[in-house]
Chains A and B, each alone.
Chain A
Amino acid sequence: MTLDEIKNTLNAAVLSKKEDMNLNIVRAYCADLMSDVLAFSITNSLLITHLTNTQVIRTAEIADVKTIVFVQSKRPDIETIALADTKKIPLLVTDLSMYETCGKLYEKGLRS
C-alpha cells in the first residue's frame, strides 16, 4: 500500500512535512512496547502505536521502521514531529482505535 492509500483508509492526518505519499509499505507491525518493535518488527515496515514520545522515533530509526501511525487521536508533541522530520520518518494520526486501524489495513491486504 502507498502512504496515500494508508492515509485514506484510516482517514488519517499527515503530521510531518514533505512526505512522499507514493512511499510503498508492504508490512505492518503494532506495539506499544519499544523492545517488541526492536525484537519483532520487520525492516521497512509501518508501525502502529499509541506511544507518542521521542523514543518511538528513535526506536523506529534503529529498527528501520519506515513510517508510524498514531492511533486513537494521540498526537505527538512538536519535538517528536521535528525529530521524525529530521530522520525522514512520516507520521500519521488517526481517530481510529488500534483494533480498527489494524483491521482496516489488514482488510486492504497489508500483512505483518
Chain B
Amino acid sequence: MDNKVAEGVFFLTGKDFSNAGIASSNLKGVLEGMNVQPDIIRRTAIAAFEAEMNVIIYAVAGMMHYYITPETIRMVVKDMGSGIPDIGLAMTEGYSTAPDYIREMGFGSGMGLPNIKKNTDKLDIDSVVGGGTTLEFIIYLNKDSKGAKNETP
C-alpha cells in the first residue's frame, strides 16, 4: 500500500435503497486508489457495506467516517436509529428484526453484524435504545500491527 493517509465521511439516508451501497463502493475505490491489498479491500468493503445497509434499513439517517493510515483502516458508523436493545442477540447469526420487504430485497437475514465481526480485527458497538447506534471497527493493514482479532463487545 502507498504510504499515505486519508479520511472522509459519507452521509446516509434511511430507506434510500436506490443509493444504498454507493458509500461502500466509493470507499472501495479510495482503497484501490491507495493500492491496499485486495483481501483487505474486500474485508473492509464487506464490513462497510453491511454497516451501511444497517443504517439504511433501520435508521433515519447516519454517517460513515473512515480513517486510513499505513497501519489501520478505522471506521465509525453512527446512526440516528432506534438503537439495539440486546447487542448479544443482534450478534447472533440469523437473528433479525427486519420486515418482510427488506428480506425480499435479499437483506435482513441476521448476518449483518456477524459479517462485520468476521471481516474486521476489532469491533465495538455502542447503542442506546431510542438514541441510536455507533459502530467502530478496525482492520489492520499489516500483520505486525494486528492485535486480538474480533473482540466481542
Which A residues contact B (CB, under 8 angstroms)? 32-36, 38-39, 43, 49, 51, 53-56, 58-59, 61-64
* CB <8 Å contact, B106 and A53: yes
Which B residues contact A (CB, under 8 angstroms)? 17-18, 20-22, 24-25, 28, 38, 42, 45-46, 49-50, 105-107, 109-112, 114-115, 118
Interface of A is mostly: helix
User: How many angstroms from the CA of A90 to the CA of B117 in the assembled complex?
Assistant: 30
Question: Which chain A residue lies CB-closest to B42?
Answer: A64
Interface of B is mostly: helix
* CB <8 Å contact, A58 and B42: no
* 5 nearest CB pairs, A to B: A58-B21, A35-B111, A34-B106, A33-B109, A62-B49
* CB <8 Å contact, A59 and B106: yes
* CB <8 Å contact, B25 and A61: yes
With A35-B115, A38-B50, A61-B25 as given contacts, are A55 and B107 in contact (CB-CB < 8 Å)? yes
Question: Which chain A residue lies CB-closest to B46?
Answer: A38
- Expressed in whole angstroms, the minimum distance between the Cβ of B28 and any Cβ of chain A is 7
In the assembled complex, which residues on chain A have CB atoms less than 8 Å from the CB atom of B109?
Answer: 33-36
In the assembled complex, which residues on chain B have CB atoms less than 8 Å from the CB atom of A59?
Answer: 21, 49, 106
User: How many angstroms from the CA of A58 to the CA of B112 in the assembled complex?
Assistant: 15
